[in-house]
Amino acid sequence: MASTRTPERIEPSYPKDRTTLGGPRLGPAGWARWAWRQLTSMRTAIYLLLLLAAAAFPGSIFPQRSVDPVQVRTFFENNPDLGPWLDRVLLFDVFSSPWFASIYLLLMISLVGCIIPRMRQHWRSIRAQPPPAPQRLTRLPARADGTVATDGREALAAAREALKAKGYRLRDAEDGDLWVTGEKGYLKETGNLLFHLALLGVIVAFAAGNLFGWRGEIIIQEGQSWTATAGTFDTLNFSPLADEGDIPTFTVELNKLDVAFESQADGAQFGQPRRFDGLATVEVPGQEPEQQEFAVNHPISVAGDSIFLLGNGYAPIVTIRDPDGEVLYSDAVTFLPQDNNYASEGAIKVTARDPGLGLVGGFLPTLRIDPELGMTSSFPGLVDPVLALTAFEGNLFPDGRPQSVFNIDTDQMTQLTDEEGNPVAMLIRPGEYFELPDGTTVEFDGIIRWAGLLARHDPGRMPALGFAIATTVGLALMLGIKRRRIYVRIEPTTPTTGSVQAVVRVAGQPKGSDPGLQTIVDDVLLRITRITGDRTTTPETHHRDKDTV
């Protein structure tokens, strides 16, 4: 008769640091352990890395104050309603914002929490012996059997020699059994740890650069010298922990700047830049002046910092004389390019006369008259250079307000006109001059080039490079090395003929996927048979069925 006894109900047991619906409540310590485990999991680290990339995305869309404050001001002027709202969430200061820094710090903590336990585990794994060989090698994914004409001890010695020759760390039986275990591939986990440590180092190096670095921009004309001080930069930005005292003293003289453009008339490459080469003399107090060549990707090195070539353009040399021939102004004027053909804009301010004289307009390296666009440049090289200017007179600096050197505030100025009442418009080429209605002459003497340079101090630059190389090495080790174990068991047999023989069973166990494991097992068996004198029967190779338990 069947039993009608009701089975006992088994109550679920809950770990002290885990909670489920209906389970026990966690205390503060349990919640802290749970939060720490979630934060230091590899999955969380990957999510934080993706979140950091997403958080950096607005920094590539909106202008940043630390890079170009002028563009930020222009954005506010063009978007008076949207700009203040974006500024409230610090989208113009993304990389120094608290929300970006919090993601940054959480990622660092997560990586540290992931790496340290794995380092301890890897250290114990390296010091520990390989595991003993299983009794039933048929359960392993790759195996091969063969028979050698020698006794078990000699076959075991051959197995040890074969594994040792391939770089395996060995473990022998301690109870007299005839088996040996070989293990290799520890560098795979070492590479994995090196990759994550180097990734953490890259993050720290970039953080150091953003905390202790500074960057400044300057425009230097050919033949001009410039000394680095806080007041001589056109734009200067400090990191939170840097100040003016971190700027070293040095002088840079731009000796020459050579620029070449594609001049072939056919093809889409017409007018494209082909070469930007320069020569500069760098002088550091207490050292001999040194000439250095520089290019776009080859900066000037000075005092442990780098000076990069950011841009270039033309500086027409203009001389202005009064009706009596006295020189009122004579200098090279920097004009800023507005397109790929170097059509440039600029301004000339003459304060040596009363009222002040202002000339504003453009410089065109290769003049072309377009029916719709008017005067423009058709090529960035100096084929037919002209200055196209108009003149104003009056107060150049109304209310003493500072203004850009590249334009003129004409609110309190009057545009000069000719005898017919038309605005003065001059178009002069090198070697020519134009006479204003009052007898003042504007002479176009020649053209030189200017270079836009970026001086940058980044203490994390070289460490970041070293860590990036280490990341590559770690990734190569992690992907190129396989962690595997090879087990060899010897089974002595005595056939009816009376000769001594032994069955050699070799099996392999991978960590992860290892498509070449069977080839390794076959090679180990072949080495053993060769070491024993090649007195063997034909080895048998066995592949484990994936559905076999």
Are 417 and 491 part of one and the same domain? no
pLDDT value, residue 357: 92
Residue 496 has pLDDT above 80, yes or no: no
Instruction: Give the pLDDT of residue 540.
Output: 52
- Cis, bond preceding 355 (omega within 30 deg of 0): yes
The percentage of residues in the chain with a pLDDT greater than 90, rounded to a whole number, is 39
| Total domain count, the chain | 4
List phi, psi (to 5°) of 404. Answer: -70, 150
| Amino acid 95: pLDDT | 82
CA–CA gap between residue 509 and residue 487 (Å, rounded):
8
Predicted pLDDT at 49: 85
Split at pLDDT 50, 70, 90, the class of 20 is very low
User: According to the model, what pLDDT value does residue 1 have?
Assistant: 42
Shared domain for 114 and 152, answered yes or no, is no
Q: What is residue 435's predicted lDDT score, i.e. its pLDDT?
A: 92
- Whether 421 is covered by a domain: the verdict is yes
- Taking each helix axis as running N to C, give the angle between helix 42-61 and helix 98-127, from 0 to 180 degrees, rounded to the nearest 10: 150
294 domain-assigned: yes
91 with 180, same domain: the answer is no
My answer on whether 427 and 329 are in the same domain is yes
Q: Are residues 440 and 505 in the same domain?
A: no
Average pLDDT, the chain: 85
Q: Which of 26-35, 370-379, 407-416, 461-470 has the highest mean pLDDT?
A: 461-470
Regarding whether 316 and 435 lie in a shared domain, the answer is yes
What CA–CA distance (Å, rounded) separates 76 from 148?
A: 85
- Does some domain include residue 418? yes
Q: What is the DSSP letter of 73?
A: H
Q: Does residue 417 lie within any of the structural domains? A: yes
Sequence-distant (6+) residues with CB within 8 A of 473 are 191, 194, 198
96-100, 184-188, 378-382, 482-486: lowest mean pLDDT where? 96-100
Decide if pLDDT at 348 tops 50.
Answer: yes
Q: Tokens at residue 99, please? A: 């929300």
Ranking 71-75, 190-194, 489-493 by mean pLDDT, the lowest is 71-75
Q: Is residue 19 part of a domain?
A: no
Indicate if the pLDDT at residue 499 is higher than 80.
no
Q: What CATH number is attached to the domain comprising 526?
A: 3.30.310.80
Q: Say whether both 250 and 337 belong to one domain.
A: yes
Q: Are residues 90 and 201 in the same domain?
A: no
Q: What is the mean pLDDT of residues 146-156?
A: 88
| 290 plus 400 within the same structural domain | yes
Identify the residue whose tokens are 């500024």. Answer: 87
Domain match, 293 and 437 both: yes
pLDDT band at 463 (very low <50, low <70, confident <90, very high): very high
Q: Say if residues 396 and 404 touch (Cβ distance below 8 Å).
A: no
Q: Does 1 reside within a domain? A: no
With 70 as the cut, is the pLDDT of residue 147 above it? yes
For residue 381, being part of any structural domain is answered with: yes
Task: Report the percent of the chain where pLDDT is more than 70.
Answer: 90
Residue 16 has, within 13 A of its CA and on its CB side, a CA count of: 6
Cα 269 to chain center, whole Å?
29
- 515 and 404 part of one domain: no
Q: For 220-267, write each residue's pLDDT tens digit.
A: 999 999 999 888 898 888 888 888 888 988 999 999 999 988 887 666
- Decide if pLDDT at 543 tops 80: no
Domain that holds residue 468: 191-213+459-475
Q: Answer whether residue 18 is part of any domain.
A: no
Q: Are residues 42 and 110 in the same domain?
A: yes
- The pair phi, psi for residue 491, each rounded to 5°, is -125, 100
Output the pLDDT for position 486.
94
